Structure 1
């Protein structure tokens, strides 16, 4: 058995991983959530401008929850990319 025939039998499917849009959105929301939560905890709560609530803290915790949901969703139900169904790009070997 030659090495090239072994490569043809390897699966051409993989997950989108970090490039999954849900992961990108989740990570961005988590970053903003950390910033707003830290601002809400350590910064001026500005109760006179927000009607007596710490808006940064509430928005930060909400963003952490939604961002965590997106990241968890992307990890539990990954998008599978089947490379054999993608069109051949320049510089990429033709279908086997």
Structure 2
């Protein structure tokens, strides 16, 4: 039998988290570069710029992790019949309602 598995792709949670972190990183980096840095509130550092760069790095790391080690999803999964912890399906009432 041939292995017919494919990767989770965009639906991999690491991709979604990485994209969200990267988007926030871009926004904060742009705010750090072009907005008032307000260094008197942060002790002399540009907090938006530093946080944005860290978020970009972590988001890129998540995306690279998902690309380099993709989750393989089988095309067909056999139904589980012997799992005692799985709840039984509810019966429909007779009479068609």
Flag as ranges the 4+ runs of structure 1 deviating above 2 A: 9-12
Aligned residues: 79
User: How far apart, in 1, do the equivalents of 2:5 and 2:76 lie?
Assistant: 8
In terms of fraction of residues, the more helix-rich structure is 1
Partner residue of 2:7? 15
User: How far apart, in 2, do the equivalents of 1:10 and 1:18 lie?
Assistant: 24
Partner residue of 1:6? none
Structure 1 length-normalised TM: 0.77
User: How far apart, in 2, do the equivalents of 1:79 and 1:11 lie?
Assistant: 14
Which runs of 5 or more structure 2 residues have no equivalent in the other structure? 80-97
Matches within 5 A, 1:17-96: 17-85=9-77, 87=79
Which runs of 5 or more structure 1 residues have no equivalent in the other structure? 1-8, 88-96
User: How far apart, in 2, do the equivalents of 1:18 and 1:53 lie?
Assistant: 36
Which one has the largest radius of gyration?
Answer: 2
User: How far apart, in 1, do the equivalents of 2:7 and 2:30 lie?
Assistant: 33
Structure 2 length-normalised TM: 0.76
CA RMSD in angstroms comes to 1.5
User: How far apart, in 1, do the equivalents of 2:39 and 2:78 lie?
Assistant: 54
* Shift in alpha-carbon separation, 1:40–1:83, aligned structure 2, 3 A: same
- Aligned-pair CA distance for 1:12: 3.1
User: How far apart, in 2, do the equivalents of 1:78 and 1:11 lie?
Assistant: 15
**1:8-51 Cα distance to aligned partner (Å, 9 max, x none):** x7753110001000000000000000000000000010011111
